[in-house]
Amino acid sequence: MKNDLRVNTWAELQEALFKDSYHDTLQRYRSPYVYRGLDNAAWDLRTSLMRLEGEYQGVERHLVRNFHKYSKRMTHFENLDAFWDTLAIGQHFGLPTRLLDWTYSPYVALHFATSQLYQFGKDGVIWAINHEKVIDYLPAKLKAILLEEGSNKFTTDSLNPVCRSWKEFDSLQKEKFVLFFEPPSFDDRIVNQFALFSAMSSSEALLNEWLEQHQDLYFRIVIAADLKWEVRDKLDQANINERVLFPGLEGLSIWLKRHYSPKK
């Protein structure tokens, strides 16, 4: 792809991970990018809702409605009645949605680009999107929220009063757009992964196709397959692994299984 940076060494990777991270106004290294790591560079930015296939567009509202209905007695989370909180919690626990997971941390994204040993024969990839420039393409109603708050990112609290359903959200603007928002810190996984979510203004819209029309908003770091073992071992030594990013017995077990797997 046009905006790809292919890296073959650890040193090249470090340069790419912090590309354009210096903020001229703040005179600090505060990157405007958010990151998403994938084990296979050939994969697109397909959502879990899209992966249902079939008439997935028609079941989106039913998934959200039923998750909201049945989850209330199973969770201690506050504000589950609010639309964007319901979406965030559902996405976090595996509900098929149009949301995608992102992180502010390039190293967390690097973990997800090197987490599956069965994909070590394939190049990995990290998508990097300038979430500040994305604001330029938002509907005026959403831009006004950020202007009023003096912020460059949304929270569920700021979105809940404006859009109480996907129908309301999709009708804000004729042209497609994407927004990024931070979920509440409802468990350690969200905190440790430095997480946020993206949402497109149509359940059928692929984010990578939208980005192809806005080349100045993103770049991709393609990680050579031959580099993956070195990256994986160095991340483990730096304590960037499932034991930390997925606190609990499941994350511990996944980390131990991978850590002690032979190099094949």
Mean of the pLDDT values across residues 158-168? 93
Pick the closest to residue 13 from 21, 2, 5 (CA basis): 5
Radius of gyration of the chain (CA): 19
- With tokens 């949301």, the residue in question is 99
Residue 194 token pair: 């430095």
Contact 3, 215 (CB under 8 A): yes
Residue 160 token pair: 């809940």
Q: How do residues 46-98 score in pLDDT, each as one tens digit?
A: 999 999 999 999 999 999 999 988 887 766 665 567 899 999 999 999 999 99
Contact 172, 139 (CB under 8 A): yes
φ, ψ at 41 (rounded to 5°) = -65, -15
68 residue type, one letter: H
Q: How do residues 117-157 score in pLDDT, each as one tens digit?
A: 999 999 999 999 999 999 999 999 999 999 999 999 999 99
Contact 128, 222 (CB under 8 A): no
